[in-house]
Amino acid sequence: MNKVSFDIESGEFIGIMGASGSGKTTLLNILSTIDTPTDGDVLINGVNIKTLNDNKTADFRKDHLGFIFQEYFLLDSLTVQENIAVPLTLLNKSPNEIESTIESLAKRFGIFAQLSKYPSQLSGGQKQRVAAARAIAKQPSILFADEPTGALDSNSATELLQKLREVNEDLHTTILMVTHDAYAASFSSRILIFKDGNILKELKRNEKGRKEFFEEILKEISKIDENRYN
């Protein structure tokens, strides 16, 4: 990263795009406290996470950050309901609160009928929706999604993206999603395109429909690709 600076407003849905080696994964790792920046600061809810020691960093990650990865990372020995309950249990939520949260999220993500099933009994799309519900259960300050549709077919990917958009709009969950896919990025409200560790371009959806925004993203990526070979 090269002196990158930007703000994320509460409730935004940010897409991070760029070719391999552009810096998007490094950015995600720094913002999510996985890596520590060698210079500069990272403030989340007014907390400079660069100054936290290992124990406080782990607590901050547990209390404030949610994660969805390309791989599902579900616990195979637990049911869907138990998987979603894990972060709530770690936060010492009451049994009634855990139950009501799981029921609400399971209905929202279309996995209510699968609550008693194990991950091995689910499709890839269902597994990723369980992973998303688990990440959102604790109401994180920021939800980090790293190529969340990378292992999904087109229908499952669309369903997940629609659900994430609904969560962003209805629950005002702040989402930062890294993706190489223009279609996935079109569900976000703002896109930062990275190149060589810098922000090359910023795109805003504003009042555009998703399809119009998708076309704008494709055009911008085409321009960038043309410039790479000129």
Chain position carrying tokens 């998708």: 214
State both tokens at 79: 């049911």
In CATH terms, the fold of domain 13-228 is Rossmann fold (3.40.50)
Q: For residues 191-214, give the mean pLDDT.
A: 95
Chain position carrying tokens 């990650």: 61
Chain position carrying tokens 């855990």: 98
Cβ contacts of 72 within 8 Å, gap of 6 or more: 119, 124, 127, 128, 130, 131
What pLDDT is attached to residue 228? 63
Chain position carrying tokens 């990263």: 1
Given a cut of 90, whether residue 2 has pLDDT beyond it is no
- How are beta strands 175-178 and 13-18 bridged, if at all? parallel
The Cα diameter of the chain in Å comes to 61
DSSP SS3 for 93? coil
What pLDDT is attached to residue 206? 94
Chain position carrying tokens 């504003």: 206
What pLDDT is attached to residue 21? 85
Q: What is the pLDDT of residues 45-79, one digit of tens each?
A: 999 999 999 999 999 999 999 999 999 999 999 99
Cβ contacts of 130 within 8 Å, gap of 6 or more: 72, 74, 80, 83, 84, 109, 111, 114, 119, 122
What pLDDT is attached to residue 20? 85
Given a cut of 70, whether residue 230 has pLDDT beyond it is no
Rg of the chain on CA atoms, in Å: 18
CB distance 205 to 12 below 8 Å: no
Reported as a pLDDT band with limits 50, 70 and 90, residue 225 is confident
Given a cut of 90, whether residue 224 has pLDDT beyond it is no
Given a cut of 90, whether residue 157 has pLDDT beyond it is yes
State both tokens at 160: 């997940």
pTM: 0.92
> Between 20 and 182, whose confidence is greater?
182
Reported as a pLDDT band with limits 50, 70 and 90, residue 119 is very high
What pLDDT is attached to residue 66? 96
Distance of alpha carbon 191 from alpha carbon 196, whole angstroms: 16
Residue from 191, 196, 178, 189 nearest 218 by CA: 191
So where are the chain's domains? 13-228
Given a cut of 70, whether residue 183 has pLDDT beyond it is yes
- 102, HSE (Cβ side, Cα atoms, 13 Å): 23
Most confident of 26-35, 36-45, 113-122: 113-122
Q: For residues 147-155, give the mean pLDDT.
A: 95
